[in-house]
Chains A and B, each alone.
Chain A
Amino acid sequence: GAGVSQSPRYKVAKRGQDVALRCDPISGHVSLFWYQQALGQGPEFLTYFQNEAQLDKSGLPSDRFFAERPEGSVSTLKIQRTQQEDSAVYLCASSLGALGGALSWFFGPGTRLTVL
């Protein structure tokens, strides 16, 4: 596709349930980010991939959060045993380049997760 896509767009989970959020970056983009955006706030960094390598996962809030990008393209963010505080929009962004500076980031539409 022409842009970054994410699925599902909306997810409702019961507390304790595991969820998996998918990101399809722009084809050929080396860098991929996940951000968490709580209601009424700006996005906050979760993790960064350069191709299949997860180079920074310091933003993941707990060990219940896990992200992977096994073939250097599609990425999945998995949240185990969801809690109400996990309710947020999860944004994915990709960039052609491999360096920081976020020079040309393209964001997906996000997945809105609601944990009941």
Chain B
Amino acid sequence: AQKVTQAQTEISVVEKEDVTLDCVYETRDTTYYLFWYKQPPSGELVFLIRRNSFDEQNEISGRYSWNFQKSTSSFNFTITASQVVDSAVYFCALSEKDNYGQNFVFGPGTRLSVLP
């Protein structure tokens, strides 16, 4: 069975600090997809990134970067020089190949508060 763990329930940082959100996953499949979503107070889930299990290259997008390590089943997300607008709940999610959304499993989320 697949599972996503986000051990950090809440994180508070001061603006301009860097912050890393942890994500550890479990799956028996060799082909799977990992995601990060942002959920601001408005409630919508905003897609941030998708990685497939065969692509372990780290990725950087502006102030966001992702570290995918298959050896430790982790897909951590770092925000550099955080801003108040980054305050939200962030969800890591896992989807196994060739299945419907039942296999799109979300972690419990990490609430990030960026203080001015």
Stretch at the interface among A69-77, A79-87, A96-104: A96-104
Looking at the assembled complex, report how far the CB atom of A5 sits from the nearest CB atom of chain B, in whole angstroms: 10
Establish whether residues A101 and B108, one from each chain, have CB atoms under 8 Å apart when the complex forms. Answer: no
Establish whether residues A48 and B43, one from each chain, have CB atoms under 8 Å apart when the complex forms. Answer: no
Q: Bound complex: CA of A54 vs CA of B91, how far in Å?
A: 26
B106 interface neighbour in A42, A48, A55, Cβ under 8 Å: A42
Smallest CB-CB separation from B106: which chain A residue? A42
The size of the chain B interface, using a CB distance under 8 A, is: 28
Q: Bound complex: CA of A14 vs CA of B43, how far in Å?
A: 23
Smallest CB-CB separation from B46: which chain A residue? A107
* A22 CB-CB contact with B under 8 Å: no
Residues of A within 8 A of B96 (CB): 100-101
Majority-rule SS of A interface residues: loop
Establish whether residues A101 and B33, one from each chain, have CB atoms under 8 Å apart when the complex forms. Answer: yes
Residues of A within 8 A of B107 (CB): 42
Residues of B within 8 A of A55 (CB): 100
A107-B45, A110-B43 as given contacts; A100 in contact with B101, CB under 8 Å: yes
Residues of B within 8 A of A44 (CB): 106
Smallest CB-CB separation from B4: which chain A residue? A42
A102-B35, A103-B50 as given contacts; A45 in contact with B42, CB under 8 Å: no
Q: Bound complex: CA of A2 vs CA of B98, how far in Å?
A: 28
A42-B109, A45-B104, A102-B104 as given contacts; A110 in contact with B44, CB under 8 Å: yes
Residue among B46, B91, B106, B107 with the most chain A CB within 10 A?
Answer: B106
* A108 CB-CB contact with B under 8 Å: yes
B43 interface neighbour in A42, A100, A112, Cβ under 8 Å: A112
Residues of A within 8 A of B44 (CB): 107-110
Residues of B within 8 A of A109 (CB): 42-44
Q: Which 10 A-B pairs have the closest CB atoms?
A: A42-B106, A107-B45, A100-B99, A102-B104, A33-B101, A48-B100, A102-B95, A110-B43, A109-B44, A56-B100
Where the two chains meet, the residues of B that have a C-beta atom closer than 8 Å to any C-beta of A are 4, 33, 35, 37, 42-47, 50, 91, 93, 95-109
Q: Can you list 5 A-B pairs with a CB-CB distance of less than 8 A?
A: A44-B106, A100-B98, A100-B101, A101-B99, A103-B50
